[in-house]
Amino acid sequence: MLYPKSNKYRDLYNLNGIWKFKTVGDDYIPENEAHDAFLMAVPASYNDIVTSKEVKDHVGKVLYETTFSLPVRDDRIYHLRIGATSHKCDVYLNGKLISYGINGFFPIDTELSDLEEKNRLSVVIDNRLTFQTLPVGRIVNGKQVINHDFYNFTGIHRDVIVYSTPKKYIHDIEIKTVVDDDYSKISVITDAENALYTVFDKLGNTVIESRESTFSIEDPILWDTENPYLYTLCVETDTDKYEEKFGIRKVEATRDALLLNDKPVYLKGFGMHDDSFILGKGNNAAVNIRNFELLKWIGANSIRTSHYPYSEEVMSLADEYGIMVIDEVPAVGMGWWNPTFSDERANDETKELHKELVRQLVARDKNHPAVIMYSVANEAATHEERAREYFADVIDMARKSTDLPITIIEFSTADVSLVGDLVDVIGINRYYGWYYEHGDMSVIKDQMITEIGKWRAKCGKPVFVAEFGADTIEGLHALPSESFSEEFQIEYVRENCEAFDSAEGCIGEHVWNFADFKTKQGLTRIRGNRKGVFTKDRQPKLVAHFLRERWMKK
Ligand code: GCB
């Protein structure tokens, strides 16, 4: 599935803007136009836009609706593309069901065969999470139980686009690159027939033209975090054309290291959240750019898309900025803290969805050089007997889909996890001195080094610390430090970093979190999770300066 772009064979119409919106019952079908709806922005979550508590916290279905007209041409096929709606949804055109979405973080792309002069597009979204959705949640007495630590934002979160293609069009392009000493072999896998393949360098100069789908580039400039060099491939047939940027790079996980272009990399960065004021999870170019500017400013080289795939626009920016991405499927809330893997809970149906989302994630992100690893879950109950078979199948699907390294982010300890040997890199989330022995920083180093050592001894894989952090209220100071103060956050992060520096086989540190983010209400969540190194409005807390100094040198 190709990201919508316009060119001489393809038109593009953006349907973002102000739509109609209302909460609806489970049986709702948009037979007629919703005259009783109110106005809503797209893309955005509705939760932090509305003023009614009832609507904000609504559990169930909501309707989004808009109308549009196009100059329809007979020699074109029209397609609807919705970047993401959270979570499941049904899509109707003029009252007729035309498509559906199975998950809140993936695009829906469908042909529009019955366009009229004026069209009514209705999207009915269901925000409920169960053991058969990802993330996993539960409905108890009509109330949503959220297993994970971020707000269940709902809405049309990414761009809504109608695009046209010729009748005979290119459906997909996969660019595979193999790096050798002084050349790179490029193989293009596509359904395009009799195509001309042209590669352009960054300045638009032609590097190679080929009638074969496999060809070589001599002395390629490799993509890396210092020089995120992107080429452009143009595939052109008699009827269609598509241009895709790509990078040439090699990623490999060994027993001790993660290699980018044969050199070991140390991951410096964050677990992030797609979360900003008013927009919630709505994709926004200004927020995206600010995030990447801050990542570069602080000296980060990588992020994890915790705990779900981010927008395609973010993935393209990661390519441009040279930020490596650990791309995570929305497998979160799979409870290390309570029984999860059973016939009644996370069962075969959940597993099939999980596998399908792994497949779809790789299919969506396969041409992004920034993606260096896929993460199949965050903090699942991997100590449970059934988890082994479950993840063996999920990881098997990942292996069939990609050659990149696979990781799983563990909260279970090395002693009890049953899946560590299945992946290439172990990610661990650890909050010594915060959730355990709160405020006592003297425990951090020992416990952290011991835990990393245990994973190394058990699995013989590189380990990276995917989360560590302390909630911090900006402007709160304490000397000597106390938890929640800015001084505490610096000392906490410093203690952890000293542990990483002396732990053998530790290949990186991702602070939790990049910025403060919204969660469900809770006794330990004062306006959300405050472990951000940046505030929610993207200003640095004091710790950001500490990290900048460390990471610029490292
Ligand atoms: C974790 C979770 C993350 C939470 C974080 C915390 O282990 O992976 O989603 O937000 O802890 O701050 O509690």
- Find out whether 518 and 528 touch, Cβ atoms under 8 Å: yes
* Among 540, 537, 11, 3, CA closest to 277: 537
The finding on whether 275 has its CB within 6 A of some atom of ligand 1 is no
Per-residue confidence (pLDDT) for residue 336, from 0 to 100: 66
Distance from the CA of 522 to the center of ligand 1, in angstroms?
A: 13
φ and ψ at 176, to 5 degrees?
-105, 130
The finding on whether 379 has its CB within 6 A of some atom of ligand 1 is yes
Per-residue confidence (pLDDT) for residue 1, from 0 to 100: 84
The finding on whether 531 has its CB within 6 A of some atom of ligand 1 is yes
The finding on whether 467 has its CB within 6 A of some atom of ligand 1 is yes
The ligand 1 atom at the shortest distance from the C-alpha of residue 411 is 7
pTM of the entire predicted model: 0.98
Per-residue confidence (pLDDT) for residue 7, from 0 to 100: 98
- Residue range 217-276, pLDDT digits in tens: 999 999 999 999 999 999 999 999 999 999 999 999 999 999 999 999 999 999 999 999
Total number of residues shown for the chain:
554
Distance from the CA of 307 to the center of ligand 1, in angstroms?
A: 10
| Shortest-distance Cα residue to atom 6 of ligand 1 | 149
Per-residue confidence (pLDDT) for residue 182, from 0 to 100: 87
First-last CA distance in the chain: 38
Strand ranges, E, within 2-60: 12-14, 17-24, 38-42, 44-45
Per-residue confidence (pLDDT) for residue 398, from 0 to 100: 98
Parts of the chain with a pLDDT under 50: none
Question: What is the rounded distance in angstroms from the CA atom of residue 407 to the CA atom of residue 425?
Answer: 5
Tokens 């390294």 found at: 405
